[in-house]
Amino acid sequence: MNILFRGKFALIAKLVILSGIAAILVLLIESALAKREYAIALFLAVSLAALCYTYLSARTVPMKFFLPGLLLLFAFVVAPIIYTVVMSNFNYKTGNIISKQEAITQIKGLGVEPDANGTTFDIVVGRTPSGEYAILVSDITNHIYFLSTATKRTDLLSSQVKLNDVGVATAAPGFTLIPPVKLAGNEDYSKITYAYADKYFISVQGVDVGAVFRQSLRYNATSDTFQNLLDGKLYKDNGRGNYANINASGDVLQPGWRAPNWFSNYGKLFSDRQVRGPLFRVFIWTIVFAASTVLTSFAFGLLMALTLNRPLRGRRFYRSILVLPYAIPSVMSILIWGGMFDTEFGAINNILGTHIAWFQNATYARLAVILVNLWLAFPYFYLISAGALQAIPSELLEAAAIDGANPRQIFRKITLPLLMQILTPLLIASFAFNFNNFNLIYLLTGGGPKDQLGGQIAGATDILISYTYQIAFGSNTQDLGLASAISVIIFFIIAGISLYGLRKSKVLETFG
């Protein structure tokens, strides 16, 4: 057995595994650097160094045990948390997704306008003898032909060109045609602006059409500004991810880029009426939802635990049926409940003999959410209540009975207080869990009902976490910055609740 831990065999095995992992990491670092993902490359490099140091040195015994877990935890839990905090301070939403460099390129591309007549020409693409891309342009109505490259336009006489059967020039001196099939997948030629006249140029619109444009926005790299060449307006970097008109700050060029906007996402939560109103409503419902879920499920769970606490014929049978809702994968049972609440074909209306549109009405939808969560959660509360009841020493109850207390008094004065002492941390943990019960809301009601056409993002049953999801990934504007800010706030709420629960359970004292 010892051969596995000491000696040559162990050493060689270790080196082989380690160098395999190192090789993969080096490859990843290389490709990350090639794509300029410096932060990720840095993390991978640090991981590599830590792995080598830890497993090749004899002085790092504890590290040998927890380094793999630590690295995974950092990469996929801690780093996203840090990233969330960083993003929450960025203007990072639809229209401000790309980097500044990409935004400048795109604005330049968009800052053009066609000439007054919207002139287009038939073209063929080819090369000059020097290898430069060129287009052979034909005005088939006026019989004008010319050759154009990025820098120069060369007019040609009708006699110099060879026309095809629709009158488009396909051959000329100093021009080698590239057959259109060979242009497929090649985008370089279409990015060039070919010379036309004056400030105008020809832009390729497919393999056989060119249109006349002129630049309307010009970028000045030294002053980092865009100027509108038509009306003279000057656009400057406003420091928040857009080029804005220096005279009218609301007039910005699209697209913008992601840029830091220090705390203004947090400010928005409290000052922007369009954000504050729904957020407040959602927050209240989140608390109502989490609290009523815990209360109803605990009440029913405790009721069942008390009912089945003493021996009863069929107790085991009841018990195994009661835990079933908790054992079924919840994704499936939530979806099943969703189908049961269907207006036309659902079993609920079917049995009640009603025709209620459950998920179209705010009150009904909320009731449905709480009912479904009661079904999902009461078995858990039943199990923990049953466990806690068993943990109460029977001597206490017997002593109380001897002292003349009636069953009701025993329950109220002894059983319940002891039970609550055991269960309070679990109730708090359950509150925290339901505070973020994303699956239930997302799969059952999708947060609805809501006025989607009216641009409403927060629905009547949306809780904070599902609302945040809508902000980040919804079909309207996607605002990752704002969503991250809300996430950070939710984290503080949950951390507060959890720390309170932990203090109650005294787990913090047992550290060490």
Residues 357-386 that bind other proteins (CB under 8 A): 375, 378-380, 383-384
Of these, 12, 16, 46, 64, which contacts other proteins (CB under 8 A)?
A: 64
Decide if residue 31 touches other proteins (CB under 8 A): yes
Decide if residue 469 touches other proteins (CB under 8 A): yes
Contact flags string 122-151 toward other proteins, x per CB under 8 A: ------------------------------
Q: How far is the CB of 276 from other proteins (least distance, A)?
A: 20
Please say which residue, 238 or 478, places its beta carbon nearer to other proteins: 478
Q: Let me know: does 119 contact 137? Beta carbons within 8 Å.
A: no
Q: How far is the CB of 161 from other proteins (least distance, A)?
A: 45
**The one segment of 127-135, 196-204, 226-234, 307-315 that binds other proteins by CB under 8 A:** 307-315
d(CA 360, CA 226): 49
Decide if residue 505 touches other proteins (CB under 8 A): yes
Decide if residue 114 touches other proteins (CB under 8 A): no
Of these, 13, 157, 332, 399, which contacts other proteins (CB under 8 A)?
A: 332
**Segment 422 to 461, residues that bind other proteins, using CB under 8 A:** 422, 425-426, 429, 436, 438-439, 442-443
Please, which residues have CB within 8 angstroms of residue 229's CB and are 6 or more apart in sequence? 199, 214, 215, 216, 217, 218
Decide if residue 77 touches other proteins (CB under 8 A): yes
Query: 53 — phi, psi (to 5°)?
Result: -60, -50
Q: Which residue type sits at 379?
A: P
**Segment 264 to 303, residues that bind other proteins, using CB under 8 A:** 300, 303
Decide if residue 87 touches other proteins (CB under 8 A): yes
Strands 144-148 and 120-127, by their bridges, are unpaired
- 339-348 contact pairs (CB < 8 A, 24+): 341/368
Structure tokens at 278: 């729904």
Decide if residue 345 touches other proteins (CB under 8 A): yes
Q: How many CB atoms lie within 10 A of CB 204?
A: 20
d(CA 7, CA 357): 73
Q: How far is the CB of 445 from other proteins (least distance, A)?
A: 14
Partner residues linked to 360 by β-bridges: none
Of these, 131, 329, 393, 404, which contacts other proteins (CB under 8 A)?
A: 329
392-431: b or e for each residue (b if 16 or more CB lie within 10 Å)? eeeeebeebeeeebeeeebbeebbeebbeebbebbbbbbb
Decide if residue 351 touches other proteins (CB under 8 A): yes
Strands 225-228 and 90-91, by their bridges, are unpaired
Decide if residue 112 touches other proteins (CB under 8 A): no
Please say which residue, 210 or 255, places its beta carbon nearer to other proteins: 255
Decide if residue 99 touches other proteins (CB under 8 A): no
Please say which residue, 66 or 263, places its beta carbon nearer to other proteins: 66
d(CA 435, CA 265): 22
Decide if residue 323 touches other proteins (CB under 8 A): yes
Decide if residue 260 touches other proteins (CB under 8 A): no
Please say which residue, 226 or 382, places its beta carbon nearer to other proteins: 382
The conformation of residue 5, written as its DSSP 8-state character, comes to T
Decide if residue 94 touches other proteins (CB under 8 A): no
Of these, 49, 157, 328, 367, which contacts other proteins (CB under 8 A)?
A: 328
Q: How many CB atoms lie within 10 A of CB 13?
A: 11
Q: Closest Cα to residue 122, out of 145, 142, 138?
A: 138
- The CA-atom distances, in angstroms, between 157 and each of 123, 143, 147, 441, 468 are 16, 9, 11, 72, 65
Decide if residue 468 touches other proteins (CB under 8 A): yes
Decide if residue 78 touches other proteins (CB under 8 A): yes
**The one segment of 67-75, 138-146, 180-188, 354-362 that binds other proteins by CB under 8 A:** 67-75
3-state secondary structure of 296: helix
Structure tokens at 318: 């009841």
